[in-house]
Structure 1
Amino acid sequence: MNDGPSRIGVVGCGLMGAGIAEICARAGLDVLVAVSGPSSVDRARRRVADSLSRLADKGKIDREEADAAARRIRITSALEDFADREFVFESVTENETTKAEVFTALDGVLRDSDAILATNTSSLPIVRLAKATRRPERVIGTHFFNPVPVLPLVEVTASLLTSEETLHTTEALLTGPLGKQVIRSRDRAGFIVNALLVPYLLSAVRMVESGHATAEEIDTGMTLGCAHPIGPLRLIDLIGVDTLTQVASGLYEEYRDPVYSVPPLLARMADGGLLGRKSGQGFYAYPS
């Protein structure tokens, strides 16, 4: 791995996983994506192909580049196929047990003892995921932002057990071929961005819940009054009500600060499947 990893694995092909796979393929890297089962393979392939096609349609990349990137991505439902991977991005649901199970499985599959395991968590302690493996010094956090191909930032979080070599290799991959900008965060729930962002989003939910203002009024106030590119309630719909609920719960568990407590309205929306854009209904409706 002296020249940097070229065989990349991505576990999970939701919005974040697909975006990570896409930017790796566009960088000329060999990408293997793992999905949950055989029935998800075609759906994952379509998601990546559609995203590349949209970029070509908008003139962001040419059609030949889009086709070449698509050819660099293979999809599998078997983690055993990851044996030759040098660097693996995990991007499954924001659940510590699920992520730890993935890390344990990958640890048993990867042949290269120097292979790095990176988690795209936005709130979970990196050190606890590292301890699910026999290579804790090769585990690191890489928190991308949605949409991955567009937003330039990645929060890189080394645990107390992460080696300097792992940190440097990861940052070189992100800032080099992947073209991202990196900020370092300590291994604390929420890292930098979510530790600041989540209380703001939850405050907006509480304003709706109390009848203080409507979602539209709050979002208009923050976009036109504070020059935010998107209002907090529309941002929650983009992130996913379920994802925000999980992240906020993790922050509250760590800090026990009421600013991170999940408002009842948000919890009931998550229970009812009103998840935002992904379900078609959140604080706003998203017709098909």
Structure 2
Amino acid sequence: MSTITAVGIVGSGTMGRGIAESALRAGQQVVLYDSSQDALSGARKHIEGNLQRSVDKEQLSAQEASDRLALLTTAASPDSLAGCHIVVEAVPEVLEIKLAVLATVEEQVSRTAVIASNTSSIPITKLARALSHQDRFVGLHFFNPVPRMPLVEIVQTVHSSDATVAAARQFVESGLGKTPVIIEDRPGFVVNALLIPFLLAAARMLDSGYADAETIDKSMRLGCGHPMGPLTLADFIGLDVVCAAADAMHAELRDPAQVVPNNLRRLVEAGYFGAKTGRGFFVHEASA
């Protein structure tokens, strides 16, 4: 499998545009595909703004920022993915949507291209059934905000070939400058298997009236040295993402620690997903 230098990303939301920005900063050619032209315009504007902030902080020169942005192609048609060496699916955490997207991607790319999903909650083996050639498929689980978070979980299935896993690792390490961990396809992978029950425990403590949100978060920051409290962290991850991950893990493991508490469920049902919508456990300035 050849060195990966052309990256396709499907979905221009928070994670998709974050993966795109990371690849651009590493000097990769990027095709960002989304069926919504408005979403693509918003993603380009967001990436351009972040690059400009790096210029303002003297982390990049103006020319370097311009060169990075020139590597980005936004496209509203899936055939734009044809020349990509790897395509990362980063659409909403809905099984049927992901299966349809992955099948479409396979129709467009070469047989040697790696196809990956950025899912945080759906088993990679379940997603692989969308593909005719499941050996080319892995999970690539990035963390938000992608440009600043150094870890990527590479999730292999029983179908993933050694060449595919090796190519994914090379892409993460050399192509993006991030740190990979290679793991089996288990509920929650590594990070969420530990993190989600912790976040749910904080929400459950709030739900029971044990302590208020500010006290819970301050206690974990000052008492345990966490950079942010669990409820703030849940807001920045996205309460909808936390719920989806918890539900998927509970469906497989039936662990009571993975049951979503009432307050968290109701916030999601009301459309309060955290920082990206301006309100979750706390009030935030809504992100673009």
Other-structure match for 2:233: 235
Structure 1 residue identity aligned to 2:161: S
Per-residue CA deviation, residues 27-69 of structure 1 (Å, 9 max, x unaligned), is 2211100113223231121111112112222222222211111
| Structure-2 residue corresponding to 1:262 | 260
Among 250, 273, 276, which residue is 1:275 paired with?
A: 273
Match of 2:56 in 1: 57
The question of whether the paired residues in 2 share the 8 Å contact of 1:7 and 1:30 is answered with yes
- Asked whether the equivalents of residues 122 and 247 of structure 1 are also in contact (C-alpha less than 8 Å), the reply is yes
The Cα offsets for residues 216-257 of structure 1, whole Å up to 9 and x where unpaired, read as 001000000000111000001101111111111101111111
Equivalences for 1:83-98 in 2 at 5 Å?
A: 83-98=82-97
Q: Which amino acid aligns with 1:114?
A: T
- Which residue of 2 is the match for residue 80 of structure 1? 79
Distance 1:123 1:41 in 2: 25
Q: Does 1:192 align with 2:161?
A: no
**2: distance between equivalents of 1:58 and 1:286?**
24
Note the C-alpha offset of 1:137.
0.2
Instruction: Give the aligned partner of residue 108 of structure 2.
Output: 109
Mapped contact 1:22–1:48 kept (Cα < 8 A): yes
- Equivalent position amino acid for 1:166 in 2: T
Q: Write the letter of the residue equivalent to 1:102.
A: V
2:148 — aligned with what?
A: 150
- Percent identity (aligned): 39
AA at the equivalent of 2:199: L
* Aligned-partner Cα distance in 2 for 1:63–1:226: 40
In 2, the alpha carbon distance for the partners of 1:37 and 1:179 equals 30
CA contact (8 A) 1:35 1:44 kept: no
SS at match of 2:221: helix
Residue 48 of structure 1 corresponds to 47
CA distance in 2, matches of 1:77, 1:266: 35
The 10-residue stretch of structure 1 (155-164 or 37-46) with the greater mean CA deviation from structure 2 = 37-46
The answer to whether the 8 Å contact 1:7/1:85 transfers is yes
**Aligned residue for 1:31?**
30
Structure 2, unaligned runs of 5 or more: none
CA-to-partner distance for each residue in 1:156-185, whole Å, 9 max, x for gaps? 110010000000011011111210111122
2:7 counterpart residue number: 8
RMSD: 1.1
Q: Could you give the per-residue CA deviations for residues 116-162 of structure 1, whole angstroms, max 9, x where no partner exists?
A: 10111112111111110111000001111111111110111100100
Distance 1:123 1:279 in 2: 21
Gaps of 5+ in 1: none
- The answer (yes or no) to whether the contact 2:141–2:154 under 8 Å persists in 1 is yes
**How far apart, in 2, do the equivalents of 1:272 and 1:16 lie?**
22
- Structure 1 runs (4+) greater than 6 angstroms displaced: none
What is the TM-score with the length of structure 2 in the denominator? 0.96
Question: Paired residue for 2:175?
Answer: 177
Paired position in structure 1 for 2:166:
168
TM-score, normalised to structure 1, is 0.96
**Are 2:4 and 2:175, in contact at CA under 8 Å, matched by a contact in 1?**
no
- Alignment match, 1:19: 18
Distance 1:97 1:262 in 2: 22
Contact 1:26 1:65 in 2 (8 A): no
